[in-house]
Structure 1
Amino acid sequence: MVVHDELYEIGIRQRRHMFGPAGAEDQVEHTSDLNDKLQDFVTRTCFGDIWQRAGLSITDRSKVTFAMLVAAGHTHEMRVHVRGALENGVSPVELREIALHSVLYCGIPAANEGLRALDEVFAEKNVGPLLDGEAAR
């Protein structure tokens, strides 16, 4: 049973902004006894509470989230959060720089997975291959 309180409403609104209806209402409406507690936690605590705190902007939270997902090697979630980061105003160049920076602290395999996630989502979103002309130099 979903309780529609303030945290739920804020959380579902944030999820909808970042991930569209498929990442918001569709996820919540298609819960089962197996995953209902997880979806409730994600909506209320993650997006209704933590993502709303004043200490970081939503854009900065998206950058930090992508960096942590690269570090942890969570490839599926990287792709999900790249889409959300673009919706939250993180530029493709910033996302690329986060993935490249991860080489220093997470290693080449992690950075490579981050770049693969970016490549896939950028292709899906029609982000051109020329981000800042750096490759042509």
Structure 2
Amino acid sequence: MSDNRFDEGIRIRREVMGDDFVDAALTRNAGTDGEDLQHHITATVWGSVWTREGLSKRDRSLLNIGMLVALRATEELRGHVRGGLRNGLTREEITEAIIHASGYCGAPAALSAMKVAQEVLVAELGPISPEAD
């Protein structure tokens, strides 16, 4: 029996995170102790969890942002903010998710997360434009 979880996982991972992000992660870990972990995460998280029915990719992205705020996993958050934009989240929804998480995860975690999210949002969408009067 063939296990295609890695193939499905790499497809979804590239779709959500982008080729540059995935290529960099795989290249950075090629030939190192981290290579097996990259393959494991691709097969199990991306190939088994992200491929499940029941939640849209957009919803999964929103959940990930909240969980990554809680974990204070800012480097992972950076990629998932970009992924959330690819999956249809708006700047406002990403910001609100971080504000919402602050009530459960605390201000330091939310402030750290917002710093990273702001860098990504400006890089991807540009600065917030002042509304015309």
Tell me the TM-score range normalised by the shorter chain: 0.7 to 0.9
Q: CA RMSD in A?
A: 2.2
Match of 2:97 in 1: 98
* 1:31–1:39 Cα contact (<8 Å) kept: no
Superposition pairs of residues 75-94 of structure 1, within 5 angstroms: 75-94=74-93
2:7 to 6, 9, 27: 9
Deviation string 1:15-72 (CA, Å, 9 cap, x unpaired) is: 1112222223443355224112111112111111101111211111111111000011
After TM superposition, the runs of 4+ consecutive aligned structure 1 residues lying more than 6 A away are: none
Superposition pairs of residues 27-106 of structure 1, within 5 angstroms: 27-29=25-27, 30-106=29-105
Residue identity matched to 1:93: E
- Equivalent pairs counted in the alignment come to 130
Q: TM-score scaled by structure 2? A: 0.86
Superposition pairs of residues 118-133 of structure 1, within 5 angstroms: 118-130=117-129
Residue identity matched to 2:118: D
Deviation of 1:121 after TM superposition, in Å, equals 0.1
* 2:18–2:83 Cα contact (<8 Å) kept: no
Larger deviation, residues 4-13 vs 81-90: 4-13
Matched residues, percent identical?
35
Q: TM-score scaled by structure 1? A: 0.84
Match of 1:20 in 2: 18
Residue identity matched to 2:108: P
Deviation of 1:90 after TM superposition, in Å, equals 1.2
1:128 match: secondary structure: coil
Deviation of 1:13 after TM superposition, in Å, equals 1.0
Distance in 1 of aligned mates of 2:67 and 2:50: 15
1:76 match: secondary structure: helix
